[in-house]
Amino acid sequence: MKTKTHIKRIGILHQRSILWQAMLHSVLLSTLSIGVISGISYLFIVSLIKKNVVGADVYEMLQNAAYLGQTIVLFAVTFLALSIVLSFSFAKKLVNPFMDMQKKLERLGPGHWGYRRTVHTGDEIEQLDTVVANLTKRLRSVYEGLEDEIEARTSELEEEYEKDRTILKALNIGLLVVDKDGNVIQANPTAGRLLNIASEKLLGRHITKVIDIFKHEKPLPKEKHPILRCLKTKKEVHVNPEVHLSIKRTDGTYLAVKISSTPLVKNRKLLGAVILFQDVTIERQIDYMKTDFINLASHHLRTPLSSLHWYLELLSSEHQKNLTKDQKSFIIEMRLAAKKMSGVVEELMDASRLNESGVSPVIERVNMTDSVKDLIKDTTTLFTKKNISIETSMPSKPVYVHTDPLLASIIIQNLISNAVKYSKEEGGKIQVSITKTQKTINVSVKDQGIGIPFAEQGRIFEKLYRAENARHIETDGAGLGLYSCKMIAEKLGANISFKSIENKGTVFTVTFPLKK
C-alpha cells in the first residue's frame, strides 16, 4: 500500500513538472508569435503609407521605420527557430529516460527479472526509476516463491492423479461419469470390460445407449431408469439388488448388475452424475437357487406337515386316555414343533408368492392412525410376556394413506414383533410413532434391543439372512420377515429404512407416499 501511494505521489509531481515546463514554453512561443505578427503588421502599415503619403521627410521616416520593422521580424523569426530547437532538445531529454524504462520493463519476465537503474537525472524520473527497480525485486521474489509452490502443488496433483487412475483401474466396479445431459465423459476400464466394449468408445454416447437396462428381460421404462431419475431429481438413486436389473450388452447378452447413481451438484447447479455398477451374476444365481429352494421346500413340506398335524390331533383326542403323562407331554411338544414348522412353511410360501409377483395390492383409503392402534392392541400379549412397555406418538387428527390395509399391517406388525423379540431384557421400552410431512406419512418403530451389527446392516433385507446376534437371541427365525417387509413395501410404492447401533437399539421407518 505504501509503495502504491509513493508511486502515485511521484507521478503527480512528475506531471506537475512537465506541465510547468510546457506552460513556460507555450508562453515563450506565444510571445515570439505575437512579436512576429506585430512586425508583419508594422510592415503592412508602412507599405500602405508609402503609397499614400508624399514628402521627403516623411518618406525617410517611413524608410527608417520599415528598416526597424524588418529587423524586428528577423529577430522574431530567429527567436522562433531557436525556441523550436530548444523545445525539441528539452523534450527529447525529458522523454529518453521514459523510453529507456519502457525497454527495460518490456524485457521483464520469467527467467529475466533483472532491472538495472540507469536514470540519474536527480528529479522525479530518477525517483520513479528507483521505485520500479524496487518493485521488480519484490516481483521476482514473489514469482520465484509462486514457481516453487506451483511446482510442489503440480507434483502433488500428479501423484493424486496417478493414485486415482490406479484405483479406477484396479476397481472391480464399473464407473461412468456423465454430464448434465446424460452423455458419458469418463469411463474406467472395468466399465468397458463389463459392457463388452472399449472404454474409449463409451465417451460421448448417451447413457441410455450405454446402459440399456432390462427387468426380467423387459426394457425398463425411461421414467424408472436410475441414471435419468438421478439427473432429473438431483438425488442419489440406489436400486435394491432384489429388483433384479440387467444390462443388455453389445453382443446381445444380459449382465446382472447392482447399480447406483450419485449427482454431481455445485451451488445447486447440476454438473452431471457418477454411475457405479457391479456384476452380480453369481449373487443373482444364488438368489435364484434360494427361490427354487423355497418353492421346493414349501410345496414338498406342506402336505406331510398337514398329515402330521392331522395324526397328532387324532392321537391326542382319541387315544388320550391310553397315554401316560410323559406321552401326553411328548405329543404336546410334537404339536408345537409341527405348528412352528407349518409357520415356517407358510413364510416360505408367502416369500415365494411375493417374489413371483403373485400378490397384487388392493389400494384403499386407510386410516393409518386407527390401523396402528389396532395392531398394538393385537400384540399386547407379546408386551406383557416380556414386561415391555410401549409408547405411542401420533397426530391428534386421523392420518389417511392410500395403500393396501392388509399388506401395510403385515409390515408394521412384523416390525413391532421384531422389536419385542429382540429386546435385550425385560423392562425395556418400544416407541411407535406416526409423523406426517407434505409428501409422506412415516410410521416408525423404535426399540432398545440388541441392534444390528454395522458390518451386517447392508444385508439385513436379504432373503434367508439373519444377523449373528439375532441368531443367538432367537434360534427359530427363517430370515424372511424383513425380506418380506421390503418386498411388500416396494409393491405398495413405500420405502422401509432403518438406523441401528449395536447393543443400543434400532428404529425402523416405513414411508408411505401421499396421493398426489
The model's pLDDT over 170-216, given as tens digits with 9 standing for 90+, comes to 677 888 999 999 999 988 888 888 888 888 888 999 988 888 888 87
Q: State residue 16's pLDDT score.
A: 44
State the Cα angle at 329 between 323 and 333, rounded to 5°.
130
| Residue 501 covered by a domain | yes
| Residue 43 covered by a domain | yes
For residues 189 and 319, membership in a common domain is answered with no
Torsion, CA 336, CA 337, CA 340, CA 341, rounded to 10:
-140
| Cβ-based neighbour number of residue 124 at 10 Å | 18
Cell numbers 444365481 correspond to 285
- Between CA 279 and CA 245 the distance in angstroms is 11
For residues 275 and 290, membership in a common domain is answered with no
Of the residues 94, 121, 137, which one is the last residue of a structural domain? 137
> Going by C-beta distance under 8 Å and a sequence separation of 6 or more, which residues neighbour residue 413?
375, 378, 379
> Going by C-beta distance under 8 Å and a sequence separation of 6 or more, which residues neighbour residue 134?
3
Kindly state the average pLDDT of the residues 15-34. 55
Statement: residue 46 has pLDDT above 70: no
- Between CA 222 and CA 17 the distance in angstroms is 78
Of the residues 252, 279, 306, which one is the last residue of a structural domain? 279
Of the residues 355, 373, 402, which one is the last residue of a structural domain? 355
User: CB of 430 within 8 A of CB of 416?
Assistant: yes
DSSP code at position 514:
P
Kindly list the distances between the CA atom of residue 289 and the CA atoms of 88, 153, 334, 359, 480, in Å, as whole numbers in the listed order: 103, 54, 30, 21, 15
Beta strand spans in 144-253 (E)? 174-179, 184-187, 213-215, 218-219, 237-238, 245-248
Kindly list the distances between the CA atom of residue 480 and the CA atoms of 62, 195, 252, 510, 512, in Å, as whole numbers in the listed order: 137, 34, 35, 17, 22
> Going by C-beta distance under 8 Å and a sequence separation of 6 or more, which residues neighbour residue 417?
379, 382
| Residue 142 covered by a domain | no
State the Cα angle at 55 between 52 and 61, rounded to 5°.
90
Q: What is the tally of structural domains in the chain? A: 4
For residues 430 and 476, membership in a common domain is answered with yes
- Between CA 446 and CA 458 the distance in angstroms is 19
Statement: residue 507 has pLDDT above 90: yes
pTM score of the predicted model:
0.49
- Between CA 434 and CA 392 the distance in angstroms is 8
DSSP code at position 271:
E
Residues in the chain, how many? 516
| Residue 247 covered by a domain | yes
| Residue 214 covered by a domain | yes
Statement: residue 225 has pLDDT above 60: yes
- Please list the residues that pair with 51 across neighbouring strands: none
Comparing 91-95, 368-372, 420-424, the range with the smallest average pLDDT is: 91-95
Kindly state the average pLDDT of the residues 310-321. 69
| Residue 445 covered by a domain | yes
For residues 210 and 132, membership in a common domain is answered with no
Statement: residue 245 has pLDDT above 80: yes
pLDDT tens sequence across 111-144: 677 777 777 766 677 777 788 778 887 777 777 7
Q: Which residues of 387-415 are buried (b: 16+ CB within 10 A; e: fewer)?
A: ebebeeebeeeebbbbbbbebbbbbbbbb
Count CA atoms within 13 Å of residue 74 on its CB side. Answer: 6
| Residue 147 covered by a domain | no
Cell numbers 509531481 correspond to 13
User: CB of 265 within 8 A of CB of 234?
Assistant: yes
- Grid cell, residue 447, equals 426399540
Q: Which domain holds residue 323?
A: 285-355
For residues 507 and 378, membership in a common domain is answered with yes
Grouping H, G, I as helix, E, B as strand and the rest as coil, residue 462 is: coil
- On average, the pLDDT of the chain sits at 76
- Between CA 307 and CA 50 the distance in angstroms is 161
- Between CA 379 and CA 375 the distance in angstroms is 6
User: CB of 457 within 8 A of CB of 432?
Assistant: no
For residues 18 and 54, membership in a common domain is answered with yes
- Please list the residues that pair with 500 across neighbouring strands: 506
For residues 61 and 104, membership in a common domain is answered with yes
Kindly state the average pLDDT of the residues 420-435. 82
- Between CA 444 and CA 433 the distance in angstroms is 5
Torsion, CA 301, CA 302, CA 304, CA 306, rounded to 10:
150
Statement: residue 20 has pLDDT above 60: no
| Residue 158 covered by a domain | no
Beta strand spans in 121-189 (E)? 174-179, 184-187
User: CB of 275 within 8 A of CB of 227?
Assistant: yes
